[in-house]
Amino acid sequence: MTDKIRVILADDHALVRQGIRQFLEEADDIVVVAEASNGEEAVRLAEQHRPDVAVLDIQMPGMTGIEATRQIKARVPGVRVLILTGYDEDPYVFALLQAGANGYILKSADADDLLQAVRKVHRGESVLSPEVTEKVVRQIQKGGPATAAGQVESLTVREIDVLRLTAQGLTNRAIGRSLGISDRTVQGHLANIYGKLAVASRTEAVTEALKRGWIVLE
């Protein structure tokens, strides 16, 4: 047990966790020591078990994978964080890299890719899926990747969700129903978005997000 890579998993879908655990534990050098169904639990388990690697999803109830990554890195710096998710949108990618994630791969990856990612992250290497690598390279080519990352990090996952629904023309009440929050909370998120993007209206916020490639019109 002592020479195995100790891993915790965090994903809000039990069947997904079960599948990931099965993939990982088929390897002789990896053991899953704990599972979490949300971000808060992931942080607690990271502090409790002090694993070698934490494999986290992004979208989880309560605390997102972005905030969980940030807190794990702050509280247990020795833990390496590997993001395993279905989201490859720019805001998520750069926010997580800025939060300190050591790797970012997609759930569409092969099981062997996941095993290799865990091993590489454990060795201290950085791991990015080809799709994510392309985004990072493209941002660097545009110039000022650090600034871009800082700008992206200022928007939370929930604010990005609100912005995406706003772009679809939904009212605050409709956005609230879609996200399970009140229209007043939606209004608060929009106010935060306006402040962070230095804009004064829904149209300006959506235009800025489209320009940056954070959202697309469906």
Can you tell me the mean pLDDT for 39-57?
Answer: 96
Residue pair 78/54 in contact (Cβ under 8 Å)? The answer is no
The contacts of residue 177 (CB under 8 Å, 6+ apart) are none
**Beta bridge pairs of residue 7:** 32, 53
CATH number of 5-138: 3.40.50.2300
Task: Say what the pTM is.
Answer: 0.68
Burial of 202 (0-12, 13-18, 19+ CB in 10 A): middle
143-182: b or e for each residue (b if 16 or more CB lie within 10 Å)?
eebeebbebbbbbbbebbbbbbbbbeebebeebbeeeebe
**Beta bridge pairs of residue 53:** 7, 80
- In this prediction, residue 213 has a pLDDT band, given cuts at 50, 70 and 90, of low
CA dihedral 70, 198, 92, 182 (to 10 degrees): 90
Residue pair 57/65 in contact (Cβ under 8 Å)? The answer is yes
Over the stretch 107-142, which tens digit does the pLDDT of each residue have? 988 989 999 999 999 999 999 988 778 777 766 656
In angstroms, the CA 100 to CA 102 distance is 6
The ranges of the chain annotated as CATH 3.40.50.2300 are: 5-138
Q: Which residue has the higher pLDDT, 73 or 64?
A: 73
Determine what percent of the chain is predicted with pLDDT higher than 70: 88
Neighbours of 61 (CB within 10 A): 11
- In this prediction, residue 2 has a pLDDT band, given cuts at 50, 70 and 90, of low
In angstroms, the CA 57 to CA 40 distance is 13
Over the stretch 141-170, which tens digit does the pLDDT of each residue have? 565 444 334 444 457 778 888 988 998 889
Quick one: fold of 154-212?
Arc Repressor Mutant, subunit A (1.10.10)
The ranges of the chain annotated as CATH 1.10.10.10 are: 154-212
Task: Give the pLDDT score at 199.
Answer: 80
Task: Give the pLDDT score at 129.
Answer: 87
